[in-house]
Amino acid sequence: MSTSNPKPRILISRGVFPEVVQRLETYFEVEPNPTDTVWTKAELIDRLRDKDGAFTTGTDRIDAEVLAACPKLKICANMAVGFNNFDVAAMDAAGVVGTNTPDVLTETTADFGFALLMATARRIAESEHYLRAGRWERWSFDMFAGSDIHGATLGILGMGRIGQGIAKRGAHGFGMKVIYHNRSRLDAASESACKATYVSKQELLQIADHLVLVLPYSAESHHAIGAAELALMKPTATLVNIARGGIVDDAALAAALRQGQIAAAGLDVFEGEPKVHPDLLTVPNVVLTPHIASSSVPTRLAMAQLAADNLVEFFGKHKVLTPVTALPSGVSR
Ligand code: GLV
């Protein structure tokens, strides 16, 4: 009779790279989701109740109800740097470890933030739609005249790793003046590496030519940009959100764009996504992308592998690489 312990049972909640599924199958008894179905909470619970661990994504809400229904669960490894899909307090109370995927996506996401800023300020999407619609008949002096990036003032709200990546691109690549606001001020060496000046949120809104949002979503950051904040911005300003839906009040933003209160917006994330506020779909001066800021092939693979590493380390060595919750006794980082 075999004396070896059965393999831990792992749920992979969404479709993921086949090589990552295969790798997990060498360590675990895996239930994958090859059809990439987005399960309801009840469907998720059904599949998770007999599992020891889960490979999750930002679309899976792990809260007290899920945890109570899944008493064997010990770890949820999120394939995302953001983890607002985790109820961290409930996970801490249940002794369930949560991990995320920081660092591996920083540069790719900063690249995208800059791309969305360029597309927004220089009206790239809007002019492309015009051309495709067969409306381009002649040159005109102000055709899709936007605002400049080089030499402009770049404002960043949320100066973590991705915010600093965007600041460096702006300061060193495009000669921008960089100002930022964050819950805590960076140390002098980091400020100098980004050539960034700390300002109040009000100054940031009033001074920035281009404002990029890169702060985590929380109750505190819900609607951090609403009608009052938009009213403080310059009428020539652009706003870019690559952080999370809910940080911007999308209805207020659509109204501000329609009224010309700000010039344009680039949005990769939305309140209640994948639904998009209908008013945003009808204003021309907004660039809309479906939450793809980290989506280069190498980076998405690196994120998936880091989530898998967390599961392998946890069950093999009682360690995790990138925890976002408290660690129960016997588990280290
Ligand atoms: C993407 O939004 C992430 O949090 O990784």
The pLDDT tens digits of the residues spanning 272-283 come to 999 999 999 999
Select which of 191, 229, 273, 313 is catalytic: 273
Residue pLDDT, tens place only, 218-273: 999 999 999 999 999 999 999 999 999 999 999 999 999 999 999 999 999 999 99
- How far does the centroid of ligand 1 lie from the alpha carbon of residue 237, in Å? 25
* Conformational region of residue 273, where left means phi above 0, alpha means psi within -120 to 50, and beta covers everything else: beta
Question: Is 183 part of the annotated catalytic residue set?
Answer: no
Q: Which domain holds residue 189?
A: 106-288
Return the pLDDT at 56. Answer: 98
Write out pLDDT tens, residues 129-188.
999 999 999 999 999 999 999 999 999 999 999 999 999 999 999 999 999 999 999 999
The model's pTM: 0.96
- Known active-site residue 258: no
CA 130 to ligand 1 centroid distance, Å: 31
Share of the chain above pLDDT 90, in %: 98
Residue 3 has pLDDT above 70, yes or no: no
Q: Per-residue pLDDT averaged across 303-309, rounded?
A: 98
The answer on pLDDT for 5 being more than 60 is yes
**Is 329 a member of any domain?**
no
Do 127 and 219 sit in the same domain of this protein? yes
Atom of ligand 1 nearest to the CA of 303: 5
Tell me if 247 sits within 8 A of 222, measured CB to CB.
Answer: yes
Starting at the edge strand that comes first in sequence, how are the strands of the sheet with 177-181 ordered? 196-198, 177-181, 153-157, 210-213, 238-241, 264-267, 286-288
Question: Does residue 308 lie within any of the structural domains?
Answer: yes
244 has catalytic annotation: yes
User: Do 96 and 75 form a contact (C-beta atoms < 8 A)?
Assistant: yes
Tracing tokens 């004396």 back to the chain, one arrives at 3
The pLDDT value given to residue 185: 98
Same domain for 97 and 110:
no
Q: What is the CATH number of the domain that holds 309?
A: 3.40.50.720
pLDDT digits (tens, 9 = 90+) for 73-130: 999 999 999 999 999 999 999 999 999 999 999 999 999 999 999 999 999 999 999 9
Could you tell me if residue 309 is inside a domain? yes
Count: domains in the chain: 2
What gap in Å lies between CA 262 and CA 251, rounded to an integer?
Answer: 14
